[in-house]
Structure 1
Amino acid sequence: MLKFGKSQPVMRREDVRFLTGGGRYVGDLIPEGALWAAFVRSDVAHGRIVSVDLDAAREMPGVVLAMTAEDAEAAGADLGMNFTTAPNRDGTKGAAPLRPFLAKGHVRFVGEPVAVIVAETEAAARDAVEAVVLEIDDLPVHAEVAPGGPSVHDEAPDNVAFDYGLGDEAATEAALAGAAHRVRLRVEDNRIVSNPMETRACFAEPEGDRMHVCYGGQGVWSLKKELCERLGMAPEAVRVTTPDVGGGFGTKASNYPEYFCVALAASQLGRPVAWVASRGEGMLTDNAGRDLVSELELGFDADHRIVAYKVDTLSNLGAYNSNFGQMIQSYLFARVLTGTYDIGTAWLRARGIFTNTVQVDAYRGAGRPEAIFALERVMDRAARELGLDPWELRRKNFVAEGAFPYTTVSGESYDVGAFARVLDRAQAAADRAGFAKRRDASAAQGRLRGMGVCYYIESILGDPSEGATVEFTDDGGVRLYVGTQSNGQGHETVFAQFLADQTGIPAEAIEVVQGDSDRIERGGGTGGSRSVTTQGTATLKVAGDAIAALAEFLSDEEGAEVEFDDERFRIAGSNEAPSVLEAVARARAAGRADLTRFEGRDTLPGRSFPNGAHVAEVEIDPETGHVVVERYTVVDDFGNLINPMLAAGQVHGGVAQGVGQILMEHAVYDAEGQCLTASFMDYAMPRATDLPSVDLSFEPVPSTQNPLGMKGCGEAGTVGAMAAVMNAVEDALWDRGVRDLQPPLTPGRLWQTIREADDRPLAAE
């Protein structure tokens, strides 16, 4: 096996292309002469479809096709989209009502597609949508994240889609009953929209007897599989590609109705058909993130060690099951239920609720940020109520460095960790010792200052296996075929850099090939921070196989022992030291074509667990409620790193999304299921001026669960940021009497909270 080299902060080579306008996204690749699709969407949240009159639309100039669910079925399509269901506490599976890719009989959220119009131009298609007469009888709307209310689906009594449990309920209740201290907290996790820079888009084009579908996603294989299922096509007749992607964040990991409609229309018409979402369509129909509320309780013994932890969560699934919606706030939440703490007894009850809103699915972290946000909020509350230092309470309850491997109550095996050491470094880096002086300086200006800490851990998810192919081309170059999909993370750089590190091949000679189901038969895509650990491990194996085979070839040719020193082959008794590319050239000249292409797969033996400490320092103007994040410090344990610069970029982006959710982002629906925040006029996102520079450092403890010792880093920034900022704001306002803080902490909401606390009699405490 080859060895893991030193990490190098290499600049992203794809940035030159992106920054000079050379990126090629779906919208840049639409075939010339393609038809355009536009969608008739429901403008009510719940209703029975009485009629869909397409006659006038079909007569509009340029219109070539108008199709409803019934038309799609008549064309041989299977409307029912794929999704996963969670296990219920009683051993059954969660509710599985049909989710059609065009509404059939009923509509259940504003924006649900009811019909598709295809025309010669995008403008003509959109104009024709306006001519459709859609008659819907309104039905009562359920928009609350709570059981009961008007029924969304007959298959889900009281609108409860699943009722999941993990842990020992009886033991947890008994431990809480006998605890010396019990601390309770209600934590809301507000709904957000990811708003990637590039909206969702796709096109489909017939290619003889085959269909090519191009879309912006996080892996081509899931969509290929479901296209075959929905449209009745053979796998060999479907090719799916993904070009450059302008942000994924989990939102683009799912398959959406528009993709099936566009492919079906192209098949029916024998012409290319394209669709690019408007920003408004995206905000109405992209899978949302988070949206849950948790009732939490921690029990402590007299020495303030945790004896039990109980969580009761209600999560919003939206109107239908999305790809992974049921699993996120059940199984995935449970992966890191107890965080980094030694908690022997815990109980999680998680229920998913159908509502007449758009679906909720993965958003950067998918269940792990939600679990850590809840735990780290109640840990901070416990410290305040018990009169303890929140940092010391965490240290006292950490899984000790000598206790690994450590099995959690949710069955996860943490392989390694040095939580106290990482927290110590974060405390020094954040200059906690100087905080009192900074707080006094803020107070002198009439402002409130707070410091908050969050210690997070996340579990790397997704398929633990991955494949790689290394192909040496006739012109002396190398193609590395990968089963993951970059959405802007820098995969072209990091994978080429890694292969170069292992083989001595110049990185500039390596082309990374991704996102093409014809060229890469199988892959796990990108999600769950899996990409570099799984893809790096597979590449390491294939590179090792290539080196071994080439060394054997040279040894046979030279009649001497041959070794590889990470850059060149060394031939015993000779000064000759051919590089890998030179060895391949010799093999090709000798007719050994079998030595020009190597492929293989590898499977990780277990998950790895990135972890670290986030420290936020905020200043609040009590007269306006405005929060400024003044300082932000992160110390991460990502294990070994290939490229620290790219890891830092991932943390920075994750922090921005976590801070944005806590301070300003919020997708709001009214009681009738109408989205009130469906434009950038109404939905706030962080700008550069809303964030300070992030003081980031690494304290690596190499994982034992992969030969690289890596832990993944794509989602960690968001997992740690949310509670750090919330805890900092609570720290600033605690002495002011504020006790109930829920995100987003917008100036208006925070101002009102401060006013109410100021007016509250002291006896009310």
Structure 2
Amino acid sequence: MCSQNSVGRPRLALVPAHSAAIVCGDQHSGEQVLQAFGTSQGGTRHEDIRFLTGKGQYLADILPEGALHAVFVRAPVAHARITTLEVSAARDMPGVRAVWTAKDLQDAGVNGSVLGATLADRRGGKGAAPKRPILAEDTMRHVGEPVALVLADTHAQAQDAAEAVELDFEDLPVTLALTPGGPTLHPEAPDNVALDWELGDEAATNAVFERAAHVTTLSVRQNRVTAASLEPRAALAQWDGTRLHFAFNGQGVWTMKRELAKLLSLDPEQVHVSTPDVGGGFGMKVMVYPEHVALAAAARALGCAAAWVADRGESIASDNGARDLTSTAEMAFDAENRIIGYRVRSQFNLGAYNSQFGQNIQTALFSKVFTGVYDIPAAHLQVQGMYTNTTPVDAYRGAGRPEAITLLERTMDMAARELGLSPFALRAQNFIPADSFPYKTPAGETYDVGDFSRLLSRAQDLGDVKGFAARKAESAARGFLRGLGLSYYIEAILGDDTEGAAVEFMPDGRVKLYVGTQSNGQGHETVYARYLSGLTGLDEALIDIVQGDSDLIAKGGGTGGSRSVTVQTTATHGMVVQMIAAFAEFLEAEIGSGPVEFEDGIFSAPGSNQRLTLSEAVALARTRGAEGLLRHERRVKLQGRSYPNGAHLCEVEIDPETGALRLDRFLAVDDFGNLMNPALAQGQVHGGVAQGYGQAVLEEVIFDAQGQLQSGSFMDYAMPRAADFPMIDFESVPVPSLNNPIGMKGCGEAGTVGALAALSNAALDALWDNGVRHVDMPLTPQRIWSWLHAQSG
């Protein structure tokens, strides 16, 4: 047996980095910690060959022969009362198997509301919770809202039948305002205010402002964007007479399982949800959407398989939108330029209904980092969520944290200008000191570690800030305006702070690792297999990652909020520690009388010359009939969140004749703690910065005054291209987290969180000498040209 510690439990000792060793015994911290061979080492991705050779199995690739094809009839206007919805002609068309309306759903016993969380309201009670019907009932409230579902033998037949549905309506007044008032969308929300939410001590914060030596005020508009994932949303529903199998390209299967069971009045055991390969999610694919429920209900009623694959225009019209808010920040300084107070007022767009997390994004999630990396003693945040006749708004890469950091970092830049200080110096003066951690923010978050001055100093050196004046002069000589932009962000990994991992040893020698997250293209198969191999010495090529199946994995937190690798490897770590201890106890009787050690992938015992790899120990256990050793699982709970942070520095050139902006340099100096795989981390930074650039410079979902979508295709909605980017430089400056045994911090959203303010600040810096004092995203040529010419008259 392993030797016992003071509380009578076996412990596994800490070993040096880059050595996979578990030794029974005590350690001063009492923690069980195991370091993997592969931590912070590169290598090719397992997934790449499959994806690059066209062998990925996406939703559209797994449709069974004979599956019916679904097409949705969608609202053509933003707000109207339905007067006629006649589907008999469509039902009689060739190949059509069903045409469903809200009444058909109700006749099938499906009359619930699509999931939408609500928060506590400062006026008392909770935010509004109007019903979001699965198919529009008597009223259509946004362009693209599903009104009817057509199922036919082929997609073309379904499309033809959808066009034959007779839909007449009486127009109702449209509201798009992010201010209270206007035509009421829901009686539950007078003046269309769904939620009025606050955080912090308003009285104490206001008192601080009374004695401020200087106050900077800035309003920032966050443009609405759409996720535009490479693979549009899609789903497949199959009913075998007793059980529903629902496959969809999402970011986790368990919420979908729960909601389908509830809305279809099924026992949870009657619902099996799975996810194949997913071509991008970015938060938009986390949610349960009306289309999912309608498709599942119809497939059950028909007793068949039915599939829906959205096209791009349908996606832009019906996928959850993102951002879409206006915020005003006020920052109070004392006479020594120290921040003494910060208050924010925001009004954000929920769209026509609550989406799954809609009320959370610009409130609870925004608040996690709304004071950023600064030592601010008093802060208050007040937020109103508004209903409008637009597609619902929800999570998108960063989900509230990019919005908070953009506002804060643009305010810091403006304050530096007003105070006559360098933006670097003002930030450094107000950073939370490195010796002040753990640090509790006004929002109640406890940052575990941080060394912000170190990262900022490194960014100044790598970014050659001293040489900027010369580069600006060189640009001017060519007729261009050059600007330098800085943003120092902090992020909070979100989502479920518990996760499970299980390993199963198969008779053929392969190993299955069951995980509760869901890859959307990040490289999970690589990092998880490599980490397990590094911990145990198992052959990485023999490890299969099992994900996205509610029958095989009872519970999981899915993917979102930069949680995946942190929580999943923590769970894997805990499971391996438990597994090795179990094998050590088993092997004690097999290879020696002393305590069995596991180091560098080898079990051994003092006084014995026997050495066994884990694979050999598994084979021995199978021979001895020790079946309990062939599968191990464990759930863990993180001690706390981790808080990735870093300095983003960029330079842009602007052509004053056309307003065109060109990104010339971009540097990200990031603290992600201990990296699992540097190449994958760098890829996440590159992708995040690219999406941030898209929002900052190009992208915007636009509705006209009647709520009609004006940017419904890639002909109208501008997306970034490879030619828009220089090489995005990245350096890791790790300050390991104390809240997980690996010391890591999530990196999936950080690039976007930091990029928006850096790019906006760079653009304003380029335009400042020409009299421009404010910019808002997107930084399109037409808008920049207009700002310049407004100053020149």
What TM-score comes out, normalization by structure 2 length? 0.95
1:281 corresponds to which residue?
Answer: 314
Aligned 8 A contact 1:78 1:229 in 2: no
1:405 to 438, 455, 460: 438
SS at match of 1:379: helix
SS at match of 1:253: coil
2:704 to 670, 692, 712: 670
Deviation (angstroms), 1:571:
2.5
Unmatched 5+ stretches in structure 2: 1-31
Aligned positions of 1:92-131 closer than 5 A: 92-131=125-164
Aligned positions of 1:87-486 closer than 5 A: 87-486=120-519
Superposed CA deviations along residues 117-157 of structure 1, whole A, max 9, x for unmatched, are 11111110110011111111110000122211111111101
Deviation (angstroms), 1:324:
0.3
2:644 to 610, 621, 638: 610
CA distance in 1, matches of 2:177, 2:42: 48
Deviation (angstroms), 1:576:
2.4
Code of the aligned partner of 1:526:
T
Deviation (angstroms), 1:81:
1.1
Aligned 8 A contact 2:216 2:414 in 1: yes
Code of the aligned partner of 1:326:
Q
Moved more, 591-600 or 69-78: 69-78
| Aligned alpha-carbon RMSD (Å) | 0.8
1:579 to 594, 613, 622: 613
SS at match of 2:370: coil
Unmatched 5+ stretches in structure 1: 760-765
CA distance in 2, matches of 1:566, 1:347: 52
Aligned 8 A contact 2:592 2:607 in 1: no
2:747 to 713, 730, 733: 713
Aligned 8 A contact 1:8 1:642 in 2: yes
CA distance in 1, matches of 2:166, 2:101: 13
Code of the aligned partner of 1:593:
E
Residue 74 of structure 2 corresponds to residue 46 of structure 1: no
Deviation (angstroms), 1:173:
1.3
Aligned 8 A contact 2:591 2:604 in 1: no
SS at match of 1:609: coil
Residue 773 of structure 2 corresponds to residue 739 of structure 1: yes
Residue 653 of structure 2 corresponds to residue 619 of structure 1: yes
Deviation (angstroms), 1:558:
2.3
CA distance in 2, matches of 1:662, 1:119: 42
Residue 602 of structure 2 corresponds to residue 568 of structure 1: yes
Code of the aligned partner of 1:321:
N
CA distance in 1, matches of 2:46, 2:54: 14
Deviation (angstroms), 1:79:
3.1
Deviation (angstroms), 1:208:
4.2
CA distance in 1, matches of 2:438, 2:122: 28
Code of the aligned partner of 1:377:
R
Code of the aligned partner of 1:441:
E
Residue 681 of structure 2 corresponds to residue 650 of structure 1: no
Code of the aligned partner of 2:382:
R
Code of the aligned partner of 1:461:
L
SS at match of 2:763: helix
Aligned 8 A contact 2:671 2:735 in 1: yes
2:70 to 17, 37, 46: 37
Aligned 8 A contact 1:45 1:356 in 2: yes
Code of the aligned partner of 2:591:
E
SS at match of 1:252: coil
Q: How many positions carry a matched residue from both structures?
A: 759
Code of the aligned partner of 2:92:
E
CA distance in 2, matches of 1:28, 1:546: 37
CA distance in 2, matches of 1:511, 1:11: 16
Aligned positions of 1:677-716 closer than 5 A: 677-716=711-750
Moved more, 568-577 or 534-543: 568-577
Deviation (angstroms), 1:506:
1.4
SS at match of 2:72: strand
CA distance in 2, matches of 1:224, 1:536: 25
Residue 34 of structure 2 corresponds to residue 3 of structure 1: yes
Code of the aligned partner of 2:749:
E
CA distance in 1, matches of 2:66, 2:676: 44
CA distance in 1, matches of 2:127, 2:612: 60
Aligned 8 A contact 2:205 2:380 in 1: yes
Deviation (angstroms), 1:524:
0.4
Code of the aligned partner of 1:248:
G
Code of the aligned partner of 2:281:
G
Superposed CA deviations along residues 506-532 of structure 1, whole A, max 9, x for unmatched, are 111110000000000110000011111
Deviation (angstroms), 1:91:
3.4
CA distance in 1, matches of 2:248, 2:104: 24
Deviation (angstroms), 1:626:
0.6
Deviation (angstroms), 1:573:
2.3
1:762 corresponds to which residue?
Answer: none
Deviation (angstroms), 1:448:
0.6
CA distance in 1, matches of 2:462, 2:772: 28
Residue 606 of structure 2 corresponds to residue 539 of structure 1: no
Code of the aligned partner of 1:311:
V
Task: Give the share of equivalent positions with the same residue, in percent.
Answer: 56
Superposed CA deviations along residues 690-713 of structure 1, whole A, max 9, x for unmatched, are 111011000000101111111110
CA distance in 2, matches of 1:12, 1:727: 36
